[in-house]
């Protein structure tokens, strides 16, 4: 007996990106009704001026459908060619079923394999690593990767440490086989020793008993320390493993956790001035898993970044988990 193995494409790349931002604009002054803070403090500590939260008729599903539809249309890939759907999210508030099968159905993707992953703010890069491996391993030819979040639903408006940080939104990419490489080696990992650095204030069970919906909490300084120390080194490793020097890089899209973290990463990586750096945090806040594809779409749409350019992306967050790679922009 000879058992057949699946055979994939030598390389994969991102074919197109799309995103969705909800309609409600929440500025810092609005939040200062609920926390003892100021526009000045929030701006100085994080760079955030405003963020978008879901309003009437908007939710995780509508955001993901909009972002995915845009990415699929731009890719030119036929619906029935998409074999797999990965949704990266920590804000689909149902234990089961996953959001991905429902999304695949709504988008008309037939019986595509579909599942969710939970890797918080690293979700997009985790999903990208899986999608790349599927295409190169022959498990799928075209993959839809969607990252969507509505962290506003689990934000405690009265928590001075997190109320101002998160924004809602979704981003999606379509990936496919390629003659040339469009995705460098993933550099990823976790530190479960710091599992409580970003955490929920209740489990589902204890929340039900207490009659409250669990909300997110954070030890901001621990996260800041990890991001400006360990993650800076991981970002350097992404470049090294891809064989790309700082001079060869065109665009840098770090997870938008805090502008001050981005400043430190830039200082550490010594990227040349010409490198375009994502700063979507100023008007979108931290969009968790959705941050990187949303920023990618924004930079390409504004013309600041161009198709075919080389970009470093890196996500990091609750877990703690992180993942990054060097990619060719769609």
Ligand X SMILES: CC(C)(COP(=O)(O)OP(=O)(O)OC[C@H]1O[C@@H](n2cnc3c(N)ncnc32)[C@H](O)[C@@H]1OP(=O)(O)O)[C@@H](O)C(=O)NCCC(=O)NCCS
Beta 169-178 vs 187-190: how paired, if at all? Answer: unpaired
Question: Can 255 be counted among the known catalytic residues?
Answer: yes
46 binds ligand X, rule: CB under 6 A? yes
Site string for ligand X, 275-304 (x = CB under 6 A): -----------x------------------
* Residue 4 DSSP one-character state: -
- Alpha helix stretches (DSSP H) within the chain: 28-31, 39-46, 60-75, 99-107, 123-137, 204-210, 220-228, 230-242, 259-269, 281-284, 291-302
Interface residues for another protein in 5-64 (CB under 8 A)? 44-45
Q: Which of 64, 92, 255, 287 is catalytic?
A: 255
* CA 136/CA 159 separation, integer angstroms: 44
220 binds ligand X, rule: CB under 6 A? yes
Question: Can 32 be counted among the known catalytic residues?
Answer: no
Closest CA to 18 of 54, 85, 65: 65
Query: Measured from the CB of residue 264, what is the shortest distance to another protein in angstroms?
Result: 6
Interface residues for another protein in 205-264 (CB under 8 A)? 221, 224-225, 228-229, 258, 260, 264
List 24's β-bridge partners, or say none. 53
Question: Can 286 be counted among the known catalytic residues?
Answer: yes
88 binds ligand X, rule: CB under 6 A? no
Question: Which residue, 111 or 195, has its beta carbon nearer to ligand X?
Answer: 195
Query: Catalytic residues, which ones?
Result: 121, 255, 286
Site residues (vs ligand X, CB under 6 A): 35, 37, 41, 45-46, 121, 160-161, 198, 218, 220-221, 223-224, 257-258, 261, 286, 317
């Amino acid at each position: 007996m000879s058992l057949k193995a699946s055979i994939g494409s030598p390389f994969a790349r991102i074919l197109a990106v799309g995103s969705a931002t909800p309609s409600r604009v929440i500025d810092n002054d609005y939040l200062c009704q609920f926390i003892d803070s100021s526009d000045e403090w929030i701006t100085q500590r994080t760079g955030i001026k405003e963020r978008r939260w879901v309003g009437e008729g908007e939710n995780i599903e509508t955001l993901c459908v909009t972002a995915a539809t845009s990415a699929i249309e731009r890719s030119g890939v036929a619906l029935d060619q998409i074999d797999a759907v990965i949704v990266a999210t920590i804000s689909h508030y149902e234990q089961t079923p996953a959001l991905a099968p429902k999304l695949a159905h709504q988008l008309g993707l037939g019986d595509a394999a579909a599942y969710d992953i939970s890797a918080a703010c690293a979700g997009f890069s985790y999903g990208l690593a899986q999608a790349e491996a599927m295409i190169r391993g022959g498990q799928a030819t075209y993959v839809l990767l969607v990252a969507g979040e509505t962290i506003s639903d689990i934000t405690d408006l009265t928590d001075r440490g997190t109320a101002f940080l998160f924004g809602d939104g979704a981003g999606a990419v379509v990936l496919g086989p390629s003659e040339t490489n469009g995705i460098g080696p993933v550099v990823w990992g976790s530190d479960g020793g710091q599992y409580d650095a970003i955490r929920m204030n209740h489990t589902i069970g204890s929340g039900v008993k207490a009659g409250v919906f669990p909300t997110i909490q954070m030890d901001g300084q621990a996260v800041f320390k990890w991001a400006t120390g360990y993650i800076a080194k991981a970002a350097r490793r992404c470049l090294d493993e891809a064989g790309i020097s700082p001079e060869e890089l065109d665009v840098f899209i770090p997870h938008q956790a805090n502008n001050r973290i981005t400043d430190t990463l830039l200082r550490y990586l010594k990227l040349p001035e010409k490198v375009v750096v994502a700063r979507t945090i100023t008007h979108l806040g931290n969009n968790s898993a959705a941050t990187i594809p949303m920023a990618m779409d924004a930079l390409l749409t504004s013309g600041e970044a161009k198709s075919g350019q080389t970009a470093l992306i890196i996500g990091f967050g609750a877990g703690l988990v992180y993942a990054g790679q060097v990619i060719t922009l769609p």
